[in-house]
Amino acid sequence: MQHQNSKPKGQGWCWMMIMIPRLLRVYINRRILITIRNIIRFILTTLQTLYLFVTMSKPSSSDPLQPPLFDPKQPSVPISYPIKTLEDLKTRSYFNSFHYPFNIALLPMSHHAASSSSSSSSSSLPNRRRLLVCHDMAGGYLDDKWVQGGTNPDAYAIWHWHLIDVFVYFSHSLVTIPPPCWTNTAHRHGVKVLGTFIIEWDEGRAACDVLLSTKESAQMYAERLVELAVTLGFDGWLINMEVNLDRGQIPNLKEFVDHLSSLMHSSVPGSVVLWYDSVTVDGDLNWQDQLNYYNKPFFDICDGIFVNYTWKENYPSLSAAVASDRRFDVYMGIDVFGRNTYGGGQWNVNVALDVLRKDDVSAAIFAPGWVYETKQPPDFETANNSWWDLVEKSWGVLRKHPGVLPFYTNFDQGRGYHISMDGDLVSDATWCNISCQGFQPHLNFADSTNPIQVFTDLKGSSYSGGGNITFKGSLEEHAHFEKKIFETEFVLSELPIHLTYSVKSDGNSSLGLKLAFTSTTNKREYILLASQPLNNFSGNFSKAIMTDGNKGPSPGWVINQGTITMNGYTLAEIHAVCYRCDSPTNKLRWLYSSDSSDSTSASTSDYFAILGHISIQTLEYKSDFPVASSWQVDTKYMKWTPGPQGSKILSLQISWELKDGKNHQFRSYNVYLVKSSKQEGTSSRLEHVKEYLGVAQAKCYYVSELKVPSGTYSLKFIIQVCGDDGTLQELDESPYYELAVEGPQISITM
């Protein structure tokens, strides 16, 4: 795991430039903000010029504490970063960066991204109102920039993906490339991801003179943006031209948008290009707050418009009328910070959503990280769930989880305090990596009147990753409690499906699953999976199936398995069922869990259980892991430096590819290290325990400043392949790279 974000030294001016407007944003409108920023820029530029004049008149001296400028070609901890100039975009310098291969998203768009209903445009978005979320936070690239993960367990995250159709990563750099962590987890949940191309301020006006100088230049820059999206694996662009233009530049601007849209669609089926309501067809920077004559020409040549957020109550219906049969391609903006946005944003975001739902147009929520940035009480987890609960109650749940098996989730939020694999703790370090999110459950805001409270827990035991669903409260002996955790759309064939789920519980607390099935004639069947017979309430279900409950590989966990045949039905819902049972088998399971750190002495009505994971697959499905010898594992950028007490410090990049050239899709790759040394006084080899280094979401991993103790003579880096169904390749059968540790030296190999 890598470094937690902090404000870099030597960037005070930039930090001030970002923070002053953000502090004022609640109280001022956009035009005033631009004027204030221009004044601040003038003052700071004058001060910097004066400072440079004074310092340059003195003898120069090097500052050993001044960090070196970022050189993207030099090996370092992999990060995501934007492209800031048209020249860098034109010359494709990004692809020469050391960081480029690490920023390729591993997960393609989920198969169910396109709704079963017909689409209203070439973007393959569902033919209904949609919810777009535009992530804007303090300039972007914070904890999420660390591609291999950071160390902040309290990093910002989104886990209400079931409400979202499109995710936009936004910053004020020219080309904002989404960090792959957002693309990976959004794709896992069937959400499209867009980068941002923004032109603003005086330098933006100058850039437009180059961008729009000819039809050919407009096409060339559009092609560069398409190449980035295709190569890095995200789904399109939001175009925001926040400058005044000459009327003569508008034809080439249209060519830029049209060529970008057409090429994106032909290169990435289902891709999306959106226009932001900014410059008009007359070349004026004049936000319309609606779709009308002045911005419709841009709307007509792309997949939709993100309407500025200072609209009036009747503007959505007016925009829908102008859009005609493309009303769902109109995304009315809502600024959560609340600056002149309809309804005021913040905890009143539902006011605007209610209007948009009534007028049946789409919504674009800007900066939902307001909850995190402003530290809404009592804590981020609780406040974020409460805020998104407002969104859900107003907007409704319009999406379901993937319709293609296998389905696997470990309820990981992509941040936490430890990491487990099959119930075994492999790391107790704090971490964050949104790429690691499992499918997120639909847990509505907690209702204090329920006897059992249900919540995602990042600190308790986890079976896989760093999270679980915890059920805690009070339950009488013959009672049971149900909680819906997923809405799905799995159409089943004649093949049976096999379900596996892990449970850890106290006393006689038991946990099962209720599956809701629907037929083509809307007949509903409810099947209960439970480890014990439940005669007292089994009549509530169409059928009850006893699972095979076996002690898991790690103390305290019980692995439940069951098989169901429901040919022609659709698995529509998954519920957790809390109950009690005093059978001998249950007591045996309690013995398995009695050594759990979560166990507490409980009264007869106290209830506590943890759901660690759920896996659903067809009975014939089997993870197909290529044998170790089928992989080519290589290293480069190797750097050795001496360390204290005879140790050595190693940095290197490990990469792997299948020798047959096939592009198998795997969920991720765990990276382990085994250090070998010689037993003192003998020639025998002593292998140390397998040490978890981290997880890779690309086919490469960078090891940074690894301390190699004195006496170590070899390092074995193991690449463990992770299947879509949650299974892990055995470490002893996984590909690896073994490196001999040489004598004291300083060396670098590229």
Please, what's the largest Cα pairwise distance for the chain?
Answer: 90
Write down the architecture of domain 86-395 according to CATH: Alpha-Beta Barrel (3.20)
Instruction: Pick left, alpha or beta for residue 108 (phi over 0 → left; psi -120 to 50 → alpha; otherwise beta).
Output: beta
Say what angle helices 12-24 and 30-56 make with each other, to 10 degrees.
160
Q: Which two tokens stand for residue 85?
A: 């100039």
Q: Which two tokens stand for residue 356?
A: 């948009």
Write down the architecture of domain 628-749 according to CATH: Sandwich (2.60)
pLDDT digit string (tens) for 42-73? 565 445 434 433 333 333 334 444 556 889 99
Alpha helices in 212-284 (DSSP H): 215-232, 250-267
Give the whole-angstrom CA distance, residue 316 versus residue 288.
12
Nearest to 376 by CA among 365, 387, 366: 387
State the DSSP H helix or E strand holding residue 322, giving kind and residue range, or none if neither: helix 315-323
Give the whole-angstrom CA distance, residue 609 versus residue 472.
7
SS3 at position 401: coil
Give the whole-angstrom CA distance, residue 365 versus residue 357.
14
Residues sharing a CB contact under 8 Å with residue 284, sequence separation 6 or more, in sequence order: 244
How far does Cα 559 stand from its chain's mean position?
A: 28
Give the whole-angstrom CA distance, residue 189 versus residue 159.
10
Residues sharing a CB contact under 8 Å with residue 508, sequence separation 6 or more, in sequence order: 580, 581, 582, 586, 587, 590
State the DSSP H helix or E strand holding residue 19, giving kind and residue range, or none if neither: helix 12-24
The domain 407-618 having CATH identifier 3.30.365.10: the answer here is no
Give the whole-angstrom CA distance, residue 704 versus residue 641.
12
**Residues of the chain whose pLDDT is less than 70?**
1-68, 110-123, 402, 445-446, 535, 582-603, 679-685, 743-750
Radius of gyration of the chain (CA): 28
Give the count of beta carbons closer than 10 Å to the beta carbon of residue 149: 27
State the DSSP H helix or E strand holding residue 41, giving kind and residue range, or none if neither: helix 30-56
pLDDT the model gives residue 296: 98
**Contact by Cβ (8 Å): 328, 307:** no
SS3 at position 91: helix
pLDDT the model gives residue 376: 98
SS3 at position 708: strand
Nearest to 310 by CA among 330, 331, 333, 284: 333
Residues sharing a CB contact under 8 Å with residue 5, sequence separation 6 or more, in sequence order: 142, 143, 145, 146, 150, 152
SS3 at position 426: strand
pLDDT the model gives residue 665: 81
pLDDT the model gives residue 53: 36
pLDDT the model gives residue 620: 83
User: What burial class does residue 55 get, using C-beta atoms within 10 Å of its C-beta: 0-12 exposed, 13-18 middle, 19+ buried?
Assistant: exposed
pLDDT digit string (tens) for 606-634? 999 999 999 999 988 888 899 999 999 99
Give the whole-angstrom CA distance, residue 621 versus residue 501.
17
Give the whole-angstrom CA distance, residue 695 versus residue 416.
14
